[in-house]
Structure 1
Amino acid sequence: MVAVIYAGMRFMPTYDFSDTIVLTDLGTPQRVPQTGSYAETAVPSGVWPGARADGAIRSKEDVWNTLLWLSVCGLLLVMAIGLTVGWRLSKHLLAPLGVISQAAAKAADGQLQYRINAGGPSDELKQLADTFDTMLARLEESFAAHQRFAANASHELLTPLATTRAVLQIAAADPSGEEFAELAPMLVETNERNITIVKALLSLAAADHAPFDPEPVDVAALARDVAADRTARAATADLRLDVDTEPGCTVPGNATLLRQLLLNLLDNALAYNRPGGSVHLSVLREDQIVIEVENTGLHVDDIVAQRLFEPFYRQHSRVTSDRSGHGLGLAIVRSIVHAHHGTVTARANPDGGLTVRARLPRDAG
């Protein structure tokens, strides 16, 4: 605006002021009026507004008129340029918002595989688009995990029920009852399996949603007690169970849930092992309390290790395995750790087996 007014006042009018200042011999300034009066001169069409008939500025009034006219014209020009440039610039800058809105609409329709993949400089809009892509990826992964959970849970519950139905049909077809006497133990075992699955699902739900008032829990002492309970089982399976703890490993939490966490970790390490192998349980005091269980066994892929925390997920299918367990042990571990505001990871050992590490916040006291 300043540039427009300055250029207009500097180059467009012709300045010819009516009075001239001269110096006499005595050095006294005198004002010498020029002949001719322009007060009554009309401004013809096409002459600069505020100037005289010949386009010259000769008085203070002409300056103010010209300044007013140039200010109005400059304001209109700057406004037009600003609106045009601003509209084009905002359209360019806000274009990613349209793409993000389109991605949100597709996600609402269930198309979670769509990604924005925004390019350009790393500004706020690109960061928003990248964050939205990350959210879509996590939603897609979570949705797929829930689908697998529903399918696996249905399979786990349907198989024992189908077995029970077959046993009952065989027993009903035998009037003497001899077949039923032989199949009764199988029926009891199948029913116990159903009960175990339901209890595991209830434990998983309790770990995810059950509120509790955290109290200081000595995880090291709890780990030693749990290891003592599993010593006989380890000896039966020809496995060596070692425990390594440090003093002062206290966390705010629920003792029952933390005991369940340790039991599930040890049971998983003992079940998926090999004769002559070992299980090492350690509780360390670092910036957080670290619970680590390392076992020997078959080789585990890194991709598989990250999916072991999914409910009902197994490294090997039920057809090729010994059909022990339900694939809920580590899922319950993850839920308990998250309920205590911690993190848990699984890492495949180079020589076989798995190392599961849970990190829990230390007790402030």
Structure 2
Amino acid sequence: MTRPGHGTYWQSRRLSARARLTATFTGLLFVVGAAIVTSVFLVMRYLPRYDITALASPADVTQPGEVATAAPAPTTDALPEGAWAPHASPFSDVLVRDTLTINGEGDLLRVLSTTSLVVFAVVLVLGAWLSWILAGRLLRPLDHLTDAARTAELGQATRRPTLERGRVALSGPHDEFHRLAAAFDAMLERLDVAYRAQQHFAANASHELRTPLATTQAMLDVALAEPASVDVEQLGRRLRETNTRSLKTVEALLTLADATGGQVDDGPVDLRALVEEAVARAVPAAATAGTTFEHDLDDLVVDGDHVLLTALVANLLDNALQHGRPGGHVGVTLRGRTLTVVNDGDVLDPDEVAKLSEAFRRGAGRVAGAGGHGLGLAIVSAICDRHEAGLELVAVPGGGLRVDVAF
């Protein structure tokens, strides 16, 4: 039997975790207690041999409405041989009249059974209550996790930065709940970083796309305001350059999206042939800038997506050409399972180099010129992560950047 949107009917009727723990503890207590009572009864019933002699006859027991008289202390002469005789004391009359009298095996077993069952019932009720309290204390950390999850969900839904305030920070012993809370806090930390990075990326992407669009609109407004003074050829060339820049930015964004979350068609890729093709495509642009290529490649076949690996190599070469020194050189080597691309550009701060793989991040002297969009190394980093390859950016002491990709 199912209910739409609510799962199965029986799942919706299940008890809470606290109730199930209480039932489990109580059931265990019942089983153990019943086993103890049954064992004691069976042992007392079948193992001992009872030789019980009554110390007082039924006639000595005070009947309702009768006046109790002190019973004379029994003497050893009046008792059978081997019978137990109590010592005479001021309390002898009270013991005889008010204490429980056991005259035989049946009385002993009956008293034992009644007492055991009463004690067992009391202990069972008390144990159920304590189990309920204990289960609540054990599950209290889960309530903190639930509150933190709801706080994080509220922060994401309302676009408020509440993930930072939604940490569990569970105190106490380092048990399973503490480890779960620590893992949950680490997950919230990663979500918070990803959320802020997403906001930063969206803002930068909007800025990168807005700038060429605003430039295009300004040129068109000037042309419409003074059509007679417009150089159509120059306007068309500038519009084409601006449009090309926007198109490259959009294509880079699509490539970055494919590298981070798109479908991957893994297969054997001849990396040497792929690099040679990329170098051949980059040679005309390098010749225009007066840059020379030097490449030394070994054979290497890797498992990966051919399209993404092509984009990785192309972005490495484009980055080296765009940010290299005019008239310089670009070196490409493939040794073992490491692809290295190095140029002789400006001197870079080592602290800034580690951040160049962030989207739209540009170090000192690295500007968005010649169609640059600030996504080249971000795409390389995403593709490396997708192929579980290591990426290392190193500032060359004499100027320039070396990029190592270890497959």
Q: TM-score range by the shorter chain?
A: 0.7 to 0.9
Return the offset for 1:191: 1.8
* Partner deviation per Cα, 1:129-163 (whole Å, 9 max, x = no partner): 11111111111111111111211111111111111
Q: Distance in 2 between matches of 1:192 and 1:291?
A: 29
Q: Distance in 1 between matches of 2:63 and 2:110?
A: 13
Aligned counterpart, 1:226: 278
RMSD of Structure 2 on Structure 1 (CA): 3.9
Q: Which runs of 5+ in 1 are unaligned?
A: 10-16, 21-32, 45-50, 361-365
Aligned counterpart, 2:255: 203
Q: Which runs of 5+ in 2 are unaligned?
A: 1-32, 42-48, 65-95, 156-161
Alignment match of 2:147 (pick from 84, 97, 102): 102
Instruction: Tell me which amino acid in the other structure corresponds to 1:313.
Output: R
Aligned counterpart, 1:337: 384
**2:266 pairs with 1:214:** yes
Alignment match of 1:71 (pick from 105, 110, 116): 116
* Partner deviation per Cα, 1:332-352 (whole Å, 9 max, x = no partner): 22343344x424434444736
**2:357 pairs with 1:309:** yes
Please list, as runs of the form range in 1=range in 2, the aligned pairs for 1:110-259 lying within 5 A after superposition. Answer: 110=155, 111-114=162-165, 115-211=167-263, 213-230=265-282, 241-247=293-299, 249-259=300-310
For residue 109 of structure 1, give the secondary structure of its aligned residue in structure 2: helix
Aligned counterpart, 1:30: none
| Identical-pair percentage | 38
For residue 169 of structure 1, give the secondary structure of its aligned residue in structure 2: helix
For residue 383 of structure 2, give the secondary structure of its aligned residue in structure 1: helix
Aligned counterpart, 1:24: none
Aligned counterpart, 1:298: 347
Q: 1:94 to 1:281 in 2, by over 3 A?
A: farther
Q: 1:290 to 1:74 in 2, by over 3 A?
A: farther
Please list, as runs of the form range in 1=range in 2, the aligned pairs for 1:72-91 lying within 5 A after superposition. Answer: 72-91=117-136
Instruction: Tell me which amino acid in the other structure corresponds to 1:140.
Output: D
Return the offset for 1:277: 6.8
* Partner deviation per Cα, 1:226-250 (whole Å, 9 max, x = no partner): 3454456557667675545443x22
Flag the structure with higher helix content.
Answer: 2
For residue 176 of structure 1, give the secondary structure of its aligned residue in structure 2: helix
Instruction: Tell me which amino acid in the other structure corresponds to 2:356.
Output: L
Instruction: Tell me which amino acid in the other structure corresponds to 2:323.
Output: Y
Instruction: Tell me which amino acid in the other structure corresponds to 1:271.
Output: Q
Tell me, yes or no, if the aligned pair for 1:342 and 1:359 is still in contact at 8 Å.
Answer: no
* Partner deviation per Cα, 1:246-292 (whole Å, 9 max, x = no partner): 43x2222332321221111222234334468765544454xxx4444
Q: 1:65 to 1:136 in 2, by over 3 A?
A: same
Q: 1:269 to 1:80 in 2, by over 3 A?
A: farther
For residue 315 of structure 1, give the secondary structure of its aligned residue in structure 2: coil
Aligned counterpart, 1:327: 374
Q: Distance in 1 between matches of 2:228 and 2:149?
A: 66
Task: Return the TM-score normalized by structure 1.
Answer: 0.73
Task: Return the TM-score normalized by structure 2.
Answer: 0.66
For residue 251 of structure 1, give the secondary structure of its aligned residue in structure 2: strand
For residue 321 of structure 1, give the secondary structure of its aligned residue in structure 2: coil
* Partner deviation per Cα, 1:302-341 (whole Å, 9 max, x = no partner): 4x55543343233359xx83545111212322343344x4
Q: Distance in 1 between matches of 2:227 and 2:55?
A: 142
Flag the structure with higher strand content.
Answer: 1
Aligned counterpart, 2:21: none
In the comparison of the two structures, how many residue pairs are matched? 326
